[in-house]
Every structure is written in structure tokens, then in C-alpha cells.
Structure 1
């Protein structure tokens, strides 16, 4: 699959997201963040919602000039991993999974950005660092498991 074709599919899916879907996703992120330390929880929720909304809007307005081949095997592995995260079967979770299947392929294959924003503060006060268009993540090595998407992320471990 070519990048232009992937972007076209992601744009079509992104157009279907409403403000009500975003509210449902925020509810899911709030529930999912319940085990985060209190001092990081609100910032995490706000940062992720902002990143998702900004990325969704970026997808809707993105015009791709360069066309290149997308690694379909990697794309399918990413989508399958996202699908494997289903555990509650709530409407909020369904919307979050649906959005992740738009946002994550876009960030990985089109924007070439990490799955977390640079302004997100991880526990310990750590942040993603960008140096010469290369992203470095302070928690990537600690999160490489079947319950994360870190192995797909463009960010390199610090």
C-alpha cells in the first residue's frame, strides 16, 4: 500500500469522529489512568486528549506530497496489537480503539512522530526529546511488552 492510499483511508475514518466520540474517549482515558500517580494523572489525561484532537485535525487537513510504500505487515501487526487491547467492551473503549487505529498508523507511517506528545510528562518528570528530527523516549525500554505499542513507535530509547 502506498502512503497516499493509507492517508486517504485514515482521512475518511477521521471525518466520522464527532465531539461526542472525543468525550467518550476522554472518559476512557480517565478510567485507564486511574493507577497513575495523582500528580501526573490530570496532566496525562489532558496531554493525551490534546494530542489526539490535534492529530485528528492534522489528519483531516493533511495533504501528502511524497508517496512511498507502507510496510503492510507492520501496519497489520500494529492494528492487531491495538485490537488485542480490548478488555471492557464499553462504548468508550470501542471509540478509543477506533481512534487509535486512525491515530497510530498516521503517526507511525505518515507523520513519523511518537505515539505520545513531546509535552507529556512521564512519572519522574521525564519527557520525550527531539534532537535533529529524531525522537528519544525515556520509558520505551521499560514498556516493551505485549501490552504496549512501544515496539512500533518511531521514538528511540534513551
Structure 2
């Protein structure tokens, strides 16, 4: 599959989302963040919602002709979509809405925009952030989160260890 074809499919799916869906997603993110340390919880929810809305609007505004039409690794895309689907744990409408939007935004960020799945302005526990050097992103938590419960293996960000090794 080519990037433009994927983009058109994602954009068409995004048209199904309303402001009410965004509100459901915020409820889901708040519920999912309940175990984060208090000093990170609000920042996490607000940062993720901001990034979600920025990415949502970016897709809405972008035209297909702006997409570099390269080949998409469909096996990796399908793995990502299956992983997202496997995250169901609450079986609520909010969760279903979040998962459906994630199946649009995550492939867009990874395969088309080539941006990390978390925003660079998000502060992770430990007071660390994603670093951007040139066009390369480095994540301080990637190596700690490479497991079947995360999407880190699909994220374009490299481990911060790779940047430290270059210095």
C-alpha cells in the first residue's frame, strides 16, 4: 500500500469523529491515567489531548498531494492495528472511541507524518522528554516500554541511548 492510499483511508475514517467523541476520549485518557503520579497526571492528560487535537486537525487540513507517496510496510501497519485493538480492558464506549481514533492517529503519525506517538512537550515521570535533533526524535522511555502492552516498537522515535552514544 502507498502512503497516499493509507492517508485517504485514515482521513475518511476521521470524518466520522465529532466533538462528542473527543470528549469521550478525554474521559478515557483521564481514567487510564489514574495510576500516574499526581504531579504528572494533569500534565499527561492535557498534553495527550493537545497532541490528539493537533494531529486530528493536521490530518483534516492536509491534502493528499502533500503526502510523500512511498510504500507502507503493511505487515507493520497490521501489527500496529492489532496491538491497538488488544488494548481493550474496560469495554466502554469511551474506550472504543479512543481505540478507533488511535487506529487513525497512530498509523498517520508513524507512517505518514513520521512523528513520535507522544508529543515532544510531554514530560514523562522522571522529568524527561522526547528530544528532537534535526529530523530525528529520541525517546527517554522507549527501551523501558518495549513490550506487548505498548506501541513503542512502532514509534519513529529512537531510544535516547542512541543519542547518548553519539555524544
TM tier relative to shorter chain: over 0.9
Match of 1:85 in 2: 87
Selected match of 2:69 from 51, 67, 70: 67
Q: How has the CA–CA distance of structure 1 residues 65 and 122 changed in structure 2, closer, same or farther, with 3 Å as cutoff?
A: closer
Where does residue 46 of structure 2 map in the other structure? 46
- Which residue number in structure 2 is paired with residue 29 of structure 1? 29
Query: Under a length normalisation based on structure 2, what TM-score does the superposition of the two structures give?
Result: 0.93
Paired residue for 2:125? 123
2-structure distance, mates of 1:126, 1:66: 32
The runs of 5 or more residues in structure 2 that have no matched partner are 161-167
Give the structure 1 partner of residue 140 of structure 2.
138
- Aligned pair count? 158
Structure 1: give runs of 5+ residues left out of the alignment: none
What does residue 2 of structure 1 align with?
2
Structure 1 residues 135-144 or 64-73, which shifts more? Answer: 64-73
Separation in structure 2 between the aligned mates of residue 43 and residue 75 of structure 1, nearest angstrom: 29
CA RMSD of aligned residues (A): 0.7
Q: Structure 1 stretches (4+) deviating beyond 3 angstroms?
A: none
Give the TM-score normalised by structure 1.
0.98
1:51-87 CA-partner distances (Å, limit 9, x unpaired): 0011011011112342111110000000000001011
Does 2:13 align with 1:13? yes
